[in-house]
Amino acid sequence: MAETNFVDYVKIFVRSGKGGAGSTHLRREKFIPKGGPDGGDGGRGGDIILRGDSQLWTLLHLKFKKHIFAGDGGVGSSNNKSGADGKDVIVHVPLGTIAKDAETENILFEITHDGEQKILAKGGRGGQGNTHFKSSTFQTPRFAQPGEPSIEGWFILELKVLADVGLVGFPNAGKSTLLSVVSAARPKIDNYPFTTLTPNLGIVSYRNDKSFVMADIPGIIEGAAEGKGLGYRFLRHIERNSVLLFMIPCDSNDVNKEYQILIEELRKYNPELLDKRRVMAITKCDLLDDELKDAMRPGLPGDLPVIFISSINGTGITALKDLLWTAINS
């Protein structure tokens, strides 16, 4: 997925359809001069509906479509005929999309399953025709209900990537390189910080035709929880990952210190992130021999499984997949 094609935040203006008015028609036919009311009901206004689509990975298709309007309900007519219902508008969104009220930023709902539908703006109900208001003492009502008005306003759609494994680390930790090795994804890779500016997803093949989804997400910097660097743009995507794979290069000055900084940023953003299963990979280990690895082990964190890997020569990649699969399914 090209980085410029990944959009995880859009603000849209929507308007549902207004309900059609009920009819005030009175039946007037030859030989039936006073036939009474026969006004039909108005049709309902169309809804604006969000539908989950597993084939979408981005909100790009909504970036340049800021205004979405549903159809109005038709008015009722004579002979108790109801007006036509307004046309619904179904907006397809990727799984993991959250809808918010743009003014209050309150979360309205989330879309997490393929085919799941939620109404973002409900259409107005159609008004009742005058036939509903007749009685034995009031046989010719010359009024009917108007249709309910439409609902309109600005809404925020925000995507939180759904993946089994989220890669957590500082810029240049080797996350994109790992993803390119274990999947068919081709993220941008270069030797400078913030090469990855948007999430990249890859399907990782496992034993016996099994697979899981891995997300390479922009790297954390210290202070990300306060909005420094890519800030929330990174952290909100971690919330939907089942397992967090912490990646720290072997040439780090202090692996445990880097790990604690990463943990603290997650804690400050959302303490619940620390309840997720965690695995650590020490990357770029083609630079290390067994003696150097043994020398590093005492300084590694003791509260999670740690594995040495190299995406360049394949060291530890199979064992890492086994470790991640166990964590995902534990």
Q: Are residues 112 and 177 in the same domain?
A: no
Task: Report, as an integer, the average pLDDT of 302-325.
Answer: 91
Where does a domain end: 159, 174, 201?
A: 159
- The domain boundary residue, chosen from 159, 184, 217: 159
Contacts of 88 (CB under 8 A, 6+ apart): 46, 47, 48, 49, 70, 71, 123
Q: Please indicate, yes or no, whether residues 140 and 9 belong to a single structural domain of this protein.
A: yes
Burial class of 51 by CB neighbour count within 10 A (0 to 12, 13 to 18, 19+): middle
Residue 239 token pair: 């919330």
Report the percent of the chain where pLDDT is more than 90. Answer: 48
**How many domains are there within the chain?**
2
How confident is the model at residue 195, as a pLDDT?
Answer: 45
Q: Do 1 and 126 lie in a common domain?
A: yes
Closest CA to 186 of 176, 194, 195, 196: 176
Q: What is the CATH number of the domain that holds 271?
A: 3.40.50.300
CA distance 135 to 301: 81
Residue reference for tokens 């008005």: 149
Q: State pLDDT tens for residues 99-152.
A: 999 999 999 999 999 999 999 999 999 999 999 999 888 888 999 999 999 999
**What is the pTM (predicted TM-score) of this model?**
0.72
Question: pLDDT per residue over 259-284, tens digit each?
Answer: 998 898 888 888 888 899 999 999 98
Residues 76 and 190 placed together within one structural domain of the fold: no
Query: Does residue 109 share a domain with residue 225?
Result: no
Look at residues 159, 176, 207 and tell me which one is the last residue of a structural domain.
159
Q: What is the pLDDT of residue 30?
A: 74
- At residue 310, does pLDDT exceed 50? yes
- Asked if 130 and 271 sit in the same domain, the reply is no
Same domain, 152 and 169: no
Whether 73 shows a pLDDT value over 80: the answer reads: yes
pLDDT digits (tens, 9 = 90+) for 7-61: 888 999 999 999 999 999 998 877 777 778 999 999 999 999 999 998 888 898 9
Same domain, yes or no: 122 and 175: no
Q: Which domain holds residue 180?
A: 163-328
Return the CATH number at 43.
Answer: 2.70.210.12
Report pLDDT for 321.
94
Please tell me whether residues 7 and 58 are part of one structural domain. Answer: yes
